[in-house]
Structure 1
Amino acid sequence: MTFRSLLWPLLLVALIFAVADLFIPTVSVLLVVFAGLLFGVFINGLAGFADRHAPLSYRMSFMLVVTVILLLFAGGVYYLGAQVVQRTDELWSQLQTASEDATQRLKQYEFSKQYLPDSEQMQSMVRQQGDSAVSGVLGGLRSVGWAMTGAIVIFFVGAYAAYDPRLYRKGLVKLFPTQRRERVLEVLDQMRSALGRWIVGRVMSMTLVGVLTAIGLWFLNVPLPITLGVVAALLTFIPNIGPLLAAVPQVLLALNVGTDTAIYVLVFNVALQGIESYLITPMIQRHEVTLPPILTIAAQLWMGITVGIIGVMMAAPLTVVVMVLIQMLYIHDRLGDPNPGELTTD
């Protein structure tokens, strides 16, 4: 086998690896832009509602909505930041005190002295832990920096899209043949309507779950009930997986109160999920696009493995978009079904 015969397979493998390296960053950027468009649909819906029910133009309503969102975001960041810093200092002090108490108690027993490090070993361990902590802090700061950059991009993409949505709508339609543009407009309108209804349903679920979580944790004397309620509300944006993630900080803080409290918090979360599944979700299904749970979970797993957290967050709204495209362009246009969104058992 000559070198020339191996050249093309090697070039093909190199091309595949190059495309794979570019695939994930490209999809991540596109998902951030999609998140911005989703945020734009949210802003557009609020501004349109204010435009229809208040003596304000759409542009004035838009500016009012954006200002309120910025004020709420700034207030939430300030409150949560102050609470996190305060609780972190308290938790670190409690851990140091607990460690010192445990060491002093162990020194009282003769058999434990050979296992306890001496002062030099302790200093070496502290230095190593300090280096690890610095690396962890730097990594955390880098992640926070990327998250803040993504949030800024999402905000500006959503603001520009909501400020003049017709401009981008017309530009997108221009990419299609003239005989298909009317159908493309219908598909875009249906996608915007479906995403709008999905957002309404998510916001209703987030609000109810956040309020119920704060009230329940307050009765259980868990620290930071309002903060944990806000976290639970935000994580409810992610169907199926979000409520599980929201329970983790609740249990961790409940452990500082007592083991019984942590068990009560777990029971409370199970009960809350039952209420959401059998009361809240049926109540909002008339507003929200109903997504098949298996399809949503599969999309979340696939997007999470290939892209990461942004993929998990955007899996559900992307599923809404894909369902609209399949229903309108394949089931209706290709297969000729006049009711593509309805299932019949006759």
Structure 2
Amino acid sequence: MSTAEFSHRAIIFITLALTPLVVWLLFDVVLMVTGAVLIAVLLHLVAWPFRKIRLPRALALAVAGFLILIVLLGVFYLFGSGMGNEFQEIMSRAEAGQKQLTQMLQGSTFGKTVLSHVQQGTFSLPDLFARAFRISASFLAGAAIAIVAGAFIAVEPELYRQGLSLLFPQRYRGSADETLDYLAGALRLWTIGQLIDMAFVGVTIGVASWFVGLPSAYALGAIAGVAQFVPYIGSIVAFIPAALVATTIDWSTLAWTAIAYFLVHQFDGYVFMPIVQRRMVSVPPALMLVSIVALGEAFGITATIFAAPITVSIYVLVTKLYVRETLHEEVAVPGEAGVKALADERSSAAD
């Protein structure tokens, strides 16, 4: 082996060895990039009908951004004050329910054991929400950067696609371009499916909470819908305030609340989402759950929020680059169905 060839292989080995460390140190940047890509995908989804009527891309994206802003402002204007009061009621009732549950558990040896394992009985839902707010506020600058970067990516996706492609040797650029298209298609389909699922869960939980007799049913539905952005874990998190609110009424209401949440999520997981995922992106549930927990443990709550799209991206890369192209197995790659849509969009942009 010549000195030049040895040096070349050594550089490749060192680069591969250092990549996990770089990702670990710059994981906040990974999260911002993920957020920017999702924002770009959302803008393209909303702009898609306007592109179909031959509006220029920049104008269609501007209209899409304006519509998203109008919808957000409209929701805040129509439901902001009422929803804010409902959230305050949920917080006060949840705190009262927590105290009631704590007092009940302290009346037995088993209950005291349970409390001793839940942060020595000092768990407080309002404190948890306050800490979550402080965490989100600390990432305000990152969110602003992700929004601006997402807008830039949405306006000129080909510029960034070609830039990434140029990082690879000439003989690999065809495969790199195809892989990037698969990633874009998978994230597009995942976003559509997730938005549909969030809307479905939010509406059905809101109706179920009203039917059970819980106060602030709209706010509970909103919490459940937003929490559904994090698969599996979000449904558990959304149930906690509903259960504490139900505790302040009576035990039969708590039982009916648990049954309602269970039935809604069972229907969502075994009937509704499989129908949606036939045309969207499906990742093995166990893989998704383990990935969310692992990223959350390693990098905190923000990583949990973006764990699902990160998992989808890794799943696409492993399936295409390793299983299909290295092992030569005939497998379907998530996002492959969306490549045609991306090609059509690029051709319409060229026209």
User: TM-score, structure 1 length as denominator?
Assistant: 0.73
Distance across 1 between alignment mates of 2:170 and 2:186: 25
Of residues 35-44 and 255-264 in structure 1, the stretch that sits farther from structure 2 once superposed is: 255-264
Q: C-alpha displacement at 1:49, in angstroms? A: 3.5
- Show the 5 A alignment for 1:96-111: none
Distance across 2 between alignment mates of 1:170 and 1:233: 36
Partner of residue 102, structure 1: none
Distance across 2 between alignment mates of 1:94 and 1:231: 14
**Structure 2 residue aligned with 1:163, among 126, 133, 155?**
155
Partner of residue 296, structure 1: 288
Please give the per-residue CA displacement for 1:73-108, whole angstroms capped at 9, x wherever unaligned: 334456457633565379669989xx9xxxxxxxxx
Partner of residue 69, structure 1: 68
Amino acid at match of 1:35: G
Q: C-alpha displacement at 1:62, in angstroms? A: 0.7
Q: C-alpha displacement at 1:216, in angstroms? A: 1.2
Contact 1:198/1:288, CA 8 A, preserved across alignment: yes
Distance across 2 between alignment mates of 1:95 and 1:236: 23
Partner of residue 202, structure 1: 194
- State the SS of the aligned residue for 1:337: coil
Contact 1:24/1:306, CA 8 A, preserved across alignment: no
Q: C-alpha displacement at 1:138, in angstroms? A: 8.3
**Structure 2 residue aligned with 1:186, among 155, 178, 188?**
178
Relative to structure 1, the CA distance from residue 41 to residue 95 in structure 2 (aligned partners, 3 Å threshold; closer, same or farther) is closer
- Point out where structure 2 has 5 or more consecutive residues left out of the alignment: 1-18, 100-126, 335-351
Relative to structure 1, the CA distance from residue 68 to residue 256 in structure 2 (aligned partners, 3 Å threshold; closer, same or farther) is farther
Contact 1:254/1:262, CA 8 A, preserved across alignment: yes
Distance across 1 between alignment mates of 2:175 and 2:243: 51
Relative to structure 1, the CA distance from residue 93 to residue 222 in structure 2 (aligned partners, 3 Å threshold; closer, same or farther) is closer
Distance across 2 between alignment mates of 1:323 and 1:228: 33
User: TM-score, structure 2 length as denominator?
Assistant: 0.72
Q: C-alpha displacement at 1:23, in angstroms? A: 6.5
Please give the per-residue CA displacement for 1:154-192, whole angstroms capped at 9, x wherever unaligned: 322222211211111111111111222121110100111
Partner of residue 279, structure 2: 287
Contact 2:231/2:308, CA 8 A, preserved across alignment: yes
Please give the per-residue CA displacement for 1:117-144, whole angstroms capped at 9, x wherever unaligned: xxxxxxxxxxxxxxxxxx9998666334
Amino acid at match of 2:61: F
Does 1 or 2 have the higher relative contact order (CA < 8 Å, sep 6+)? 2
Partner of residue 42, structure 1: 42
Distance across 1 between alignment mates of 2:277 and 2:253: 34
Partner of residue 307, structure 1: 299
Whether 2:51 is the aligned partner of 1:59: answer: no
Of residues 25-34 and 239-248 in structure 1, the stretch that sits farther from structure 2 once superposed is: 25-34
Partner of residue 212, structure 1: 204
Relative to structure 1, the CA distance from residue 161 to residue 81 in structure 2 (aligned partners, 3 Å threshold; closer, same or farther) is farther
Relative to structure 1, the CA distance from residue 77 to residue 30 in structure 2 (aligned partners, 3 Å threshold; closer, same or farther) is farther
Contact 1:33/1:153, CA 8 A, preserved across alignment: no
Contact 2:220/2:242, CA 8 A, preserved across alignment: yes
Amino acid at match of 1:249: P
Tell me how many residue pairs correspond in the alignment: 287
- State the SS of the aligned residue for 2:26: helix
Contact 2:93/2:245, CA 8 A, preserved across alignment: no
Partner of residue 229, structure 2: 237
Q: Computing the radius of gyration over CA atoms, which structure comes out larger, 1 or 2?
A: 1
Amino acid at match of 1:51: R
Amino acid at match of 2:310: L
Amino acid at match of 1:213: I
Q: C-alpha displacement at 1:28, in angstroms? A: 2.2
Relative to structure 1, the CA distance from residue 35 to residue 176 in structure 2 (aligned partners, 3 Å threshold; closer, same or farther) is same
Distance across 2 between alignment mates of 1:164 and 1:94: 47
Partner of residue 106, structure 1: none
Whether 2:323 is the aligned partner of 1:331: answer: yes
Q: C-alpha displacement at 1:341, in angstroms? A: 4.3
Distance across 1 between alignment mates of 2:71 and 2:284: 33
Partner of residue 32, structure 2: 32
